[in-house]
Chain A
Amino acid sequence: MQNYFLSITVLPLLGFLINVLFGKKIKSEKFSGWLSSIFVLIPFLIGVQALFEIMSLPEDGRKIVINYFNWISAGKLTVNYSFLVDPLSVVMILVVTGIGFLIHVYSIGYMHGDEGYARFFAYLNLFIFAMLHLVIADNFLLVFLGWEGVGLCSYLLIGFWYEKKFTGDAAKKAFIVNRIGDFGFLTAMFLIFTYFGTLDISGFLGQIAGYPVNNALLIAIALFFFLGATGKSAQIPLYVWLPDAMAGPTPVSALIHAATMVTAGIYLVARTSLLYVLAPYASNIVLIIGIATAIISATIAVKQNDIKKILAYSTVSQLGFMFIALGTLSFVAAVFHLVTHAFFKALMFLGSGSVIHGMHEEQDVRNMGGLRDKMKITYITFLVGAFAISGIPPLSGFFSKDEILYKTFTNAGILPYLLVLITAGFTAFYMFRLVGLTFFGKPRYNSEHIHPHESPRTMTVPLIILAVLSAIGGFIGLPHVMGFNALEHWLEPVFKNSYALINLNHPESEHSSAVEWLLMLVSVLVAAAAIYISFRKYSRQDKFAEEKGFGKVLENKYYVDEAYDKAVVNPIFRTSESFFWKIFDVKIIDGLVNGIANSLSKFSIDWKKLQTGVVQDYAALAITGIIGIILYFLFA
């Protein structure tokens, strides 16, 4: 395994290098695109191979650490370039490379004719390279390498069409907001190295196993890691970059800002699950942030008009669901929702890309309508995604969301459950508002100039595959009352210690099948009702009045961006301009440097007069000196 497994990261890197160095010379879109796609497909196949290899091991030993070489060695710090292959990382590898491959193929069609074609695929491959490091690294520093790498790729791809100013602004916003999260990640790493003397994930988790519950150090590490997660996974208070990130090309939104990169925070928390079990204080904060994010962004999504913005807020909201699962210590449910969400959200983003492509770059749902006849495949696949995210059985989103609802009910209580249930209702509502406005009703676009058409096959085939996955993906994690939860069983070795500890502290309450069935029924009813209300209203809407009252607040995203501008950005900007620039830089730094130079220059101008060129002056000086020396020896 050791020999071939390294190619999982080497191949995408190779694809990046080829495209970035020779992309302009190759000039063949087909070559660039397919080369990159193949270099993601092979890692996917390696992931499948790893899946079988892990499966062949006994359940207790399903963990392979492959150490390639010593990366950094300085003093007490030793960091190896080593991979950790266990059930969790295999799941992540398959999601990243599988969906990554489909989106690569989709991009071949979507980016057709773009000037930066090779550059685009180079960045995509670099992203896969970094993301794979993030999910298979065996130590935190290597995770951080991937963490920063995906951040860089996110920046590069959001600002891919750099000739427009707003894409550059969005890219900078994403990068800077993520820096705040990275500060948390780094601080957590520093704490771990200072107090545990290692950066190995397994070494660290092994050491904390004996710690008491709610130890201050562990809470601090957990919260700093969570700060990192809120940045990368777009949670309150750092979620503001994700909706703006939609300035990038749509496949990027699907791959990076829906399916994979934004789940890095969930992966990180799940990977260090023991830490959060030992710090209930921190996991409560995770739960609160998750609920708040889910409900706030779901309500914002209701009043957005840009098709990609709706999906972006939906992503933020769904990531909130995953953090709710993590906060209630149901790690499997979080990973399950991560996987199904990757399917249906990638599907819907790609579907929206297909719509935008067919509508000639129109993104406002108010200017669409009636597309279901013009774009059949896009319509049907999108509908599958919308039903899946709304939680209609037997599609994948139903199972994963239901698991989260159930766990919230049993682990967190009735009030969090109700909030999550309401959010789930909102999810179905905004999703079918989107469907109704886009695919139903009368065409509201100018049909003289715009002729919507179905997208090419490289785009529709990935849509179909993702639709199938969104439909059946839920069966990997059936609820207990329905049968065998394969995903839970598969991930058991990873979370064994965490779950053992949870059971020790809270002996598991009896599984009540009746309650589980009832909750399922309630959530389906809520979703169905929301779909009905929303679809009835929006599939016929023709006129769009100006939003008033609370609707206006929602349309303007609760004015969060404005508040951040007022509270954070502008003060920093003003102090930077009036103090750091005009006083500190100009007066103090420049003043110091120029002052030294000026005074030296003045001094020299005065004293150079000493050199008169008249021999007698020199002689006079010499003699004065001699007399001085003589006097010194005579009298001192």
Chain B
Amino acid sequence: MVELNYYLVLSALLFAIGVIGVLTRRNAIIIFMCIELMLNAVNLSLVSFSSFLGNESGQIFVFFVMTVAAAEAAVGLAIVISLYRNKETLDIDKINILKW
């Protein structure tokens, strides 16, 4: 049987990749995808804990996360579309008018 640690390490790696993607990539959609990746990394660790501890509340929590993520995806994509309509670009560095 595969140990819990493997799942957690994988989850941490996925999360770290997501963070680095959010911080370094310029395209809004890719940043968006990286956020999804982070969410799913968390989901993975929740499910693993739930399975290893024999406690279902972790899996129920994952459903909630997925629901929220779906809603967030809808809103996020809507923002991305309206951004593109206004600025004709999705380069996040150029969307910086909210500052001093």
Contacts and interface: CB of A to CB of B under 8 A. Distances in A.
Nearest to A605: B100
A539 to B, nearest CB: 91
Size class of the B contact interface (CB-based, 8 Å): 10 to 19
Contacts of A611: 99-100
A55 interface: no
Contact of B22 (A609, A612, A614, A616): A616
B70 interface: no
B19 interface: yes
A608 B100 CA distance: 7
B99 A612 contact: yes
A609 B19 CA distance: 24
Interface residues of A, number: 11
Nearest to B98: A613
Contacts of A615: 92, 95
B23 A619 contact: yes
Contacts of A623: 19, 23
A612 B31 CA distance: 18
Contacts of B95: 615
Interface in B63-100: 92-93, 95-100
Interface of A is mostly: helix
Contacts of B100: 608-609, 611
A620 interface: yes
Contacts of A619: 22-23
Contact of A613 (B19, B31, B97): B97
Interface string B40-68: 00000000000000000000000000000
A613 B98 CA distance: 5
Interface in A602-636: 608-609, 611-616, 619-620, 623
B57 to A, nearest CB: 24
B28 to A, nearest CB: 9
A614 B93 contact: yes
Contact of B96 (A608, A609, A613, A620): A613
A374 to B, nearest CB: 86
Interface in A563-619: 608-609, 611-616, 619
Nearest to A609: B100
A348 to B, nearest CB: 79
B99 A613 contact: yes
Nearest to B28: A615
A612 B93 CA distance: 10
Given A612-B96, A614-B92, A623-B23, 6 more contacts: A613-B98, A614-B93, A615-B92, A615-B95, A616-B93, A623-B19
19 contacts: A608-B100, A609-B100, A611-B99, A611-B100, A612-B96, A612-B99, A613-B97, A613-B98, A613-B99, A614-B96, A615-B92, A615-B95, A616-B22, A616-B23, A616-B92, A616-B93, A619-B23, A620-B23, A623-B19
